[in-house]
């Protein structure tokens, strides 16, 4: 940990986030700021993986804010070894001609930090997550929000699917997610 000139701030190296720009991927800044604080900003405030020293807690929204400083596009978190998830990323990329969405594997360091920002455990790879600058979406809500960002006719389809009750949408999502390896298989490494 490197201390900054301000005693209440520290700089921690973080894994860069991969950003899709046209057909190439670029890297975002690799340093995040962490503030020592005892107040809770929201449910996304979580403690560091190791036990906190002196009451230090990490505000993951602030700690990951550098991911949105130069590029405000949302980040789609996906299971990097799941064939269904990799197919979903390819589908989104093919239907996102204006490159409105960036991608990051849940298993990466940046993905784990963004999971913490979303109020989830860093090792929770049970759901796709869409992280916007000010909000995160999980399960079927993430899928619908992703559909809003990609090309026609998917935003219209998302509009109609939002009227299906959340518990039904999430039930279908969870059944597919729980069986994704058995039905679609898994890869040894992230293809994206």
> Structurally, how many domains does the chain consist of?
1
pTM of the model: 0.68
Q: Give percent above pLDDT 90 in the chain.
A: 49
**In a domain? residue 116:** yes
36-50, 89-103, 110-124, 166-180: segment of lowest average pLDDT? 36-50
Residue 80 has pLDDT above 50, yes or no: yes
**Stretch 57-84: mean pLDDT, rounded?**
90
Longest dimension (CA), the chain: 53
pLDDT at 138 over 70: yes
pLDDT at 192: 62
Compute, in degrees rounded to 10, the torsion defined by CA atoms 158, 124, 65, 47.
140
* 163 part of a folded domain: yes
Q: Is residue 44 part of a domain?
A: yes
Domain-located, residue 190: no
Q: What integer pLDDT is reported at residue 163 of this predicted model?
A: 96
Identify the pLDDT of residue 74. Answer: 96
Residue 189 lies in a domain: no
Asked whether residue 191 is assigned to any structural domain, the reply reads: no
pLDDT in tens, 26-67: 444 433 333 333 333 333 323 333 334 455 688 888 889 899
Q: Is residue 128 part of a domain?
A: yes
> Containing domain of residue 11, as a range?
2-184
Residue length, the chain?
Answer: 192
State yes or no: pLDDT of 132 exceeds 50.
yes
The whole-chain average pLDDT of the chain stands at: 76
């Amino acid at each position: 940990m490197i201390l900054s000139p301000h005693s209440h701030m520290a700089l921690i190296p973080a894994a860069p986030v991969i950003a899709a720009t046209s057909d190439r991927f670029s890297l975002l800044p690799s340093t995040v700021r962490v503030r020592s604080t005892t107040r809770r900003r929201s449910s996304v405030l979580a403690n560091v993986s190791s036990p906190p020293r002196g009451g230090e807690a990490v505000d993951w929204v602030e700690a990951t804010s550098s991911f949105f400083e130069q590029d405000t596009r949302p980040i789609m978190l996906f299971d990097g070894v799941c064939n269904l998830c990799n197919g979903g990323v390819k589908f989104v990329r093919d239907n996102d001609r204006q490159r409105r969405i960036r991608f990051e594997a849940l298993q990466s360091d940046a993905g784990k930090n963004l999971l913490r920002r979303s109020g989830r455990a860093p090792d929770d790879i049970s759901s796709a997550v869409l992280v916007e600058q000010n909000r995160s979406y999980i399960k079927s809500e993430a899928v619908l929000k992703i559909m809003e960002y990609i090309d026609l006719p998917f935003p219209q389809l998302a509009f109609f699917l939002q009227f299906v009750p959340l518990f039904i949408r999430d039930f279908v999502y969870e059944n597919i997610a729980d069986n994704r390896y058995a039905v679609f298989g898994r890869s040894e490494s992230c293809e994206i």
